Structure 1
């Protein structure tokens, strides 16, 4: 039996460099905004912590689920 060897294929949904930089800048702004919101945190005002958790969760969740996983990891 002959074995067929699949040649590596370039992912069709991989972002180009400019799109990756724009996505990175937006997600970093969300992350830094979440850290900045903690400067307003007091014992009497819990809303800055809620904003922090929301911004951090969205900065983590958006690239993972909405934009999709990177296909450049080399998994077969």
Structure 2
């Protein structure tokens, strides 16, 4: 093992406050998706469309927009 790999400090990507705010925003999107299902009927299918969009955003935003897409070459 190289000396750099064992003695390198752990780097934070963002602060705790930023992580908490992002978590709350994504949880609101997720819970909004679940809440939209309360309005779902056979006559009105728009709540399901809203649910799918909010659910997809709640998972897509953290994984792609907020994720580290440039870390593929790191080991």
Could you say which TM-score interval applies, normalised by the shorter chain?
Answer: 0.7 to 0.9
TM-score, L = length of structure 2: 0.79
Question: Cα distance, 1:15 vs. partner?
Answer: 1.1
Partner of 2:32: 33
Give the whole-Å Cα distance in 1 for the aligned partners of 2:66 and 2:60.
Answer: 9
Look up the SS of the partner of 1:30 in the other structure.
Answer: helix
1:4 corresponds, among 2, 8, 19, to 2
Question: Cα distance, 1:19 vs. partner?
Answer: 0.0
Give unmatched runs, 5+ long, in structure 1: 70-74
Look up the SS of the partner of 2:3 in the other structure.
Answer: coil
Give the whole-Å Cα distance in 2 for the aligned partners of 1:22 and 1:30.
Answer: 13
Partner of 1:15: 14
Higher relative contact order (CA 8 A, sep 6+): 1
Look up the SS of the partner of 2:29 in the other structure.
Answer: helix
The CA RMSD measured in Å over matched residues stands at 1.9
Give the whole-Å Cα distance in 2 for the aligned partners of 1:28 and 1:9.
Answer: 31
Question: Cα distance, 1:22 vs. partner?
Answer: 0.1
Partner of 2:41: 42
Give unmatched runs, 5+ long, in structure 2: 69-73
Partner of 1:72: none
